[in-house]
């Protein structure tokens, strides 16, 4: 089960560690949408939204430092890519997993899988026993569709997010937070469906 998906900034390509991470999109899954503890369940909808935002911010911050560390360690020269370079951007993406301890910010331990694409982070938070290989494939596909159809490259932090489109992507590729095992034919028909929707 995936607990949440978020898109956030990880800092400009040229300046690795300055500034905060800004959450551009976040979506929680599950019957209680990541609210596991008794205390959380008694919250009003507004309080839940606020808490959800705080949790997303904690995850984004952790991933942001992981991305910065990974980039520092890899010592690769990052070049700023432009619209049209989506495939290359995905190929060159940094990736990793951050273990989030219980309470930081979810009540149970979780794994945050991330892809750092230029100045953006794409992150899936999974339960610890989740199939991480499948989760990574799903994260790559989600990221690919976001990059290709939502024109997210080359706009720095001004990236304009059409969140209803991401909602629609998630409902297909990650319905209710469930990772899908796709056979070839189903993957193809899903791909067509997404293309048709995104072309609207």
Ligand X SMILES: *[C@@H]1O[C@H](CO)[C@@H](O)[C@H](O)[C@H]1NC(C)=O
Interacting residue ranges for ligand X, rule: CB under 6 A = 134, 137-138, 141, 180, 182, 187, 191
Rounded to the nearest 5 degrees, what angle is found at the Cα of 37, between the Cα atoms of 36 and 43?
Answer: 95
**What's the closest the beta carbon of residue 191 comes to ligand X, in angstroms?**
4
State which residue, 16 or 134, has the beta carbon closest to ligand X. Answer: 134
> Which residue has the closest beta carbon to ligand X?
137
Q: How far is the CB of 193 from ligand X (least distance, A)?
A: 11
**Residue closer to ligand X (CB basis): 182 or 198:** 182
Q: Find, among 22, 27, 4, 15, the residue nearest to 118 by Cα.
A: 15
C-beta closer to ligand X: residue 6 or 194: 194
| C-alpha to C-alpha distance for 169 and 146, rounded to whole angstroms | 8
Least distance to ligand X, CB of residue 175, Å: 12
Cβ-based nearer residue to ligand X, 96 or 137: 137
How far apart, in whole angstroms, are the C-alpha atoms of residue 80 and residue 195?
A: 26
- Minimum distance, C-beta of residue 164 to ligand X, in the bound complex (Å): 22
Helices (H), the chain: 38-41, 45-74, 86-91, 132-150, 163-173, 184-199
């Amino acid at each position: 089960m995936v607990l949440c998906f978020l898109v956030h900034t990880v800092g400009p390509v040229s300046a690795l560690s300055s500034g905060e991470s800004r959450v551009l999109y976040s979506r929680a899954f599950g019957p209680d949408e990541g609210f596991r503890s008794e205390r959380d369940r008694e919250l009003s909808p507004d309080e839940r939204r606020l808490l959800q935002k705080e949790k997303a911010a904690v995850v984004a911050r952790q991933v942001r430092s992981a991305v910065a560390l990974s980039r520092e360690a890899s010592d690769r020269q990052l070049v700023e890519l432009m619209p049209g370079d989506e495939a290359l951007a995905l190929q060159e993406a940094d990736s990793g997993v951050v273990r989030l301890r219980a309470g930081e910010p979810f009540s149970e331990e979780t794994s945050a899988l991330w892809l750092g694409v230029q100045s953006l982070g794409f992150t899936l938070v999974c339960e610890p026993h989740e199939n991480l290989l499948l989760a990574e494939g799903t994260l790559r596909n989600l990221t690919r569709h976001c990059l290709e159809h939502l024109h997210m490259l080359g706009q720095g932090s001004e990236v304009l997010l059409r969140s209803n489109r991401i909602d629609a992507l998630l409902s297909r590729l990650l319905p209710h937070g469930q990772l899908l095992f796709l056979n070839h034919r189903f993957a193809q028909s899903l791909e067509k469906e997404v293309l048709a929707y995104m072309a609207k």
